[in-house]
Amino acid sequence: MSTLKGLVSALLLVVTTLFWSVPLILLTLLKLITPTRPLRLIVLRGLNGVALNWIGCNLWWMRHWLKPRLEATLPEGLSPEQRWLVISNHRSWTDIFMLLMVLHRRIPMPRFFLKQQLIWIPIVGLAWWALEFPFMRRYRREQIERNPQLAEVDRKATERLCERAREMPLAIFNFVEGTRFTPLKRDAQNSPFRHLLRPKAGGVAQVLSLLGAQLDGILDVTLHYANPDPTFWGFLCGREGPITLEARRLEVPGWMLDSRYHDDPHYKERFHSWLNALWQEKDQALASR
């Protein structure tokens, strides 16, 4: 029975995607032939509207069909006219929908850091590209050591995202661990945390350095699943156990605005200490569940 529910859920995802792909493709074509950035921004706002409605449709049927047992705690004063950096631990593709379920239309249209390979997903990849999501190549350390210029590729993508955030309100979402948590990954990287992988500081530090003064704050999100091995398929089948989402608002410390992460070793060390302390608090919160 749960497998049938999962198949129906997958079909609903496909149908919703196909429906909203029509205005998405039309506006994408219009954006391609629009000659100036101010005019493209008008089209981009239209694309944002399509994406918000697309997300809203998916969240509607998920709430009524899957009925996720989600308990959420949010700070007051959120607005879609603000700019936010949202950081979170990462357990499953379900995380994205849980974040959207509690933050949709409470904050601006989200932008996620995505792996470059995801651009090839039919329709969805086109949507991410048209909406100017940052695609990250995530070169291995050995590749960067052989060719240091590769390190600039992802930094340039982050810079472009921050430029977009100056043009209109955005919410920049970052799963700081870079990949989904599993005990095997934790052990492989010798993580000092029980329930988390090591946080990757570079992308967060760059966003805060470039955009910190314009941000309304940082939303620090902690996701906890009662199921020790959550999967997106299990969620679509309605088998996922209770999920807790706690978000708290953090101010951007003034010292983060004074330097650049990649150029100042003292700043880099201080930023790592700040992020690791944040992750230690998150790990303790997860351990107390």
pLDDT tens digit string along 46-85?
Answer: 999 999 999 999 999 999 999 999 999 999 999 999 999 9
Which of the pair, 257 or 277, is modelled with greater confidence?
277
pTM: 0.91
- Between these two residues, 161 and 108, which has the higher pLDDT value? 108
Q: What order do you get walking across the sheet with 70-73 strand by strand?
A: 70-73, 243-250, 217-225, 84-88, 171-175, 110-112
Report the greatest alpha carbon distance in the chain: 57
What is the separation of C-alpha 84 from the centre of its chain, rounded to a whole number of angstroms? 11
| pLDDT higher than 90, residue 202 | no
What is the arithmetic mean of pLDDT over 5-23?
96
Q: How confident is the model at residue 141 (pLDDT cuts 50, 70, 90)?
A: low
Kindly report which listed range (183-192, 213-222, 251-260) carries the lowest average pLDDT score: 251-260
Q: Give the Å distances, CA to CA, from 191 to 155, 168, 279.
A: 25, 37, 11
pLDDT tens digits along 20-41:
999 999 999 999 999 999 999 9
Q: Using one digit for the tens of pLDDT, what is the confidence trace for 96-125?
A: 999 999 999 999 999 988 888 888 888 888
Res 246 pLDDT > 90:
yes
Q: State yes or no: pLDDT of 145 exceeds 90.
A: no
pLDDT at residue 151 in the model? 66
What is the pLDDT, as a whole number, of residue 11?
97
Q: Read off the pLDDT of residues 163-190 as tens digits, 9 standing for 90 and up.
A: 888 889 999 999 999 899 999 999 999 9
Q: How confident is the model at residue 144 (pLDDT cuts 50, 70, 90)?
A: low
- pLDDT over threshold 80, residue 155: no
- Mean pLDDT to the nearest integer, 265-279: 93
For the chain, what is the mean pLDDT? 91
Are 50 and 63 contacting, i.e. CB atoms less than 8 angstroms apart? no
103 burial type by CB count under 10 A (0-12 exposed, 13-18 middle, 19+ buried):
buried
- Averaged over 190-198, what is the pLDDT? 96
The pLDDT of residue 232 is 96
pLDDT, position 139: 60
Amino acid identity, position 217: G
If you average pLDDT over residues 135-163, what whole number do you get? 73
d(CA 256, CA 271): 8
Whole-angstrom distance, CA of residue 281 vs CA of residue 275: 10
Burial class (CB in 10 A: 0-12, 13-18, 19+), 46: middle
Q: What is the pLDDT of residue 280?
A: 97
For residue 147, with 0-12 CB atoms within 10 Å meaning exposed, 13-18 middle and 19 or more buried, which class applies? exposed
Q: Which of 285, 281, 219 is nearest to 74 (CA)?
A: 219
Is 45's pLDDT higher than 80? yes
Q: What are phi and psi of 253, to 5 degrees?
A: -60, 140
